[in-house]
């Protein structure tokens, strides 16, 4: 029997112009592995049959849960409605499920909000002093779209690499993540790779990485 947990929103804070961090109550005994997700429902009439998957961006040790969610106002769907919620409103959480899991040091490649499954993984590694030589390569349309920019910079330093596609922004690479770009940024393809982003990007990255000799590729679908 699937469990359901009704939780109150504790706070809603902006991270970028269209990304918000939702902190919510943590049910007693509710645990997860960094990179795992749950399906979330808005506890309001008209929305109870709409379940969307979101990755936990908090850590198990925290006494609340956090989700970092991109709000798509143009769609008038679940994330638009989430963007209207305030502290005290309620969500329904369901069982914890798989999603992406850390297998060892490597390179993480994210497109836009595809970085969210990596947040708790990096936070846990940083807390445990095990960031090592992990790299995070992110592609966004503009510099203003980069999620958790300051925190990732603090955790990863020069191993937090950003490219933007729709503008020439000082201090950032310009262009898409393709074969030539990865050859320039990565010397050794015999390592773990983690990929998350739009479906088209995931398909492209899998092919590009295989062309470059990578075999240990974990994707978040």
Count of beta carbons in the 10 Å neighbourhood of residue 58: 21
Asked if residue 64 and residue 32 are part of one domain, the reply reads yes
Asked if residue 47 and residue 76 are part of one domain, the reply reads yes
- Give the H or E element holding residue 14: strand 5-16
Q: Dihedral sign for Cα 127, 172, 72, 11, please.
A: positive
Mean pLDDT for 181-190 is 95
Cβ neighbourhood burial of 65 (10 Å; 0-12, 13-18, 19+): buried
CATH number of 33's domain: 2.40.30.10
pLDDT at position 221 is: 58
**Cβ-based neighbours of 52, under 8 Å, separated by 6 or more:** 39, 40, 41, 78, 79
pLDDT at position 76 is: 77
Give me the chain's average pLDDT, please: 95
How many Å apart are CA 27 and CA 17, to the nearest integer? Answer: 30
Question: Which residue, 42, 77, 97, sits at the end of a domain?
Answer: 97
| pLDDT > 90: percent of the chain | 91
* pLDDT tens per residue across span 13-31: 999 999 999 999 999 999 9
Asked if residue 150 and residue 78 are part of one domain, the reply reads no
* pLDDT tens per residue across span 37-50: 999 999 999 999 99
Mean pLDDT for 174-186 is 95
* pLDDT tens per residue across span 87-111: 999 999 999 998 788 999 999 999 9
Domain count, the chain: 2
């Amino acid at each position: 029997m699937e469990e359901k947990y009704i939780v109150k929103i504790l706070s809603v804070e902006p991270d970028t112009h269209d990304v918000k961090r939702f902190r919510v109550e943590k049910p007693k005994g509710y645990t997860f592995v960094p990179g795992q997700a749950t399906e979330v429902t808005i506890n309001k009439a008209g929305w109870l049959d709409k379940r969307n998957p979101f990755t936990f961006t908090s850590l198990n040790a925290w006494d609340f849960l956090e989700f970092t969610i991109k709000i798509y106002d143009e769609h008038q769907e679940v994330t638009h409605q989430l963007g209207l919620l305030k502290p005290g409103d309620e969500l329904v959480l369901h069982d914890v499920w798989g999603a992406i899991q850390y297998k060892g040091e490597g390179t993480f490649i994210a497109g836009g909000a595809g970085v969210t499954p990596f947040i708790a993984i990096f936070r846990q590694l940083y807390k445990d002093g095990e960031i090592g030589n992990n790299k995070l390569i992110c592609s966004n349309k503009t510099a203003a779209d980069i999620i958790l920019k300051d925190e990732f910079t603090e955790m990863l330093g020069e191993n937090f690499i950003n490219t933007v596609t729709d503008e020439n922004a000082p201090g950032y690479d310009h262009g898409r993540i393709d074969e030539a770009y990865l050859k320039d940024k990565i010397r050794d393809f015999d390592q773990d790779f983690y990929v998350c982003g739009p479906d088209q990007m995931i398909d492209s990255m899998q092919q590009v990485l295989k062309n470059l000799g990578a075999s240990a590729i974990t994707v978040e679908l």
